[in-house]
């Protein structure tokens, strides 16, 4: 197995495309999305409203190298600061195949 960094981003569903573009620009070709998660954050409660995505969050998980981690975090930070959201990084290993 190979050491990697696991990146998790939770942000407003409407900002999800922006976050995915940042991931792709940083060379992250694989990610998993869980749409329409709910929760509360520093900007108030998010309600799961099927009629509109404006009030739901999206969760994105990806794996990257330690080197691209710093680039990613730097690129994502202004989006989170502007629109709210969370970016979590943790150590992991994966089956590289």
Q: Which residues bind its own copies (CB under 8 A)?
A: 1, 4, 6, 10, 29-35, 37-42, 48, 57, 59, 63, 73, 76-77, 80-81, 86-95, 97
Give the phi and the psi of residue 58 in degrees, each rounded to 5.
-120, 145
Q: Are 84 and 33 in contact (CB under 8 A)?
A: no
Smallest distance, Å, CB 68 to its own copies? 15
CB nearer to its own copies: pick between 35 and 54: 35
Closest approach, Cβ 51 to its own copies, in A, equals 17
**Least Cβ distance, residue 8 to its own copies (angstroms):** 8
Write down the residue that tokens 């509360």 correspond to: 40
The helix-helix angle for 66-83 and 16-25 (nearest 10°) equals 160
Q: Which is nearer to its own copies, 20 or 54 (CB)?
A: 20
Q: Count of CB atoms within 10 A of residue 93's CB?
A: 11
């Amino acid at each position: 197995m190979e050491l990697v960094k696991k990146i998790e981003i939770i942000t407003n569903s409407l900002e999800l495309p922006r976050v995915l573009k940042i991931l792709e620009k940083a060379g992250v070709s694989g990610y998993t999305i869980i749409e329409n998660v709910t929760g509360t954050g520093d900007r108030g409660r998010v309600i799961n409203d099927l009629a509109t995505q404006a009030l739901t969050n999206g969760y994105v998980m990806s794996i990257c190298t330690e080197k691209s981690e710093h680039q990613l975090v730097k690129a994502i930070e202004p989006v989170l600061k502007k629109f709210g959201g969370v970016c979590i990084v943790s150590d992991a290993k994966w089956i590289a195949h």
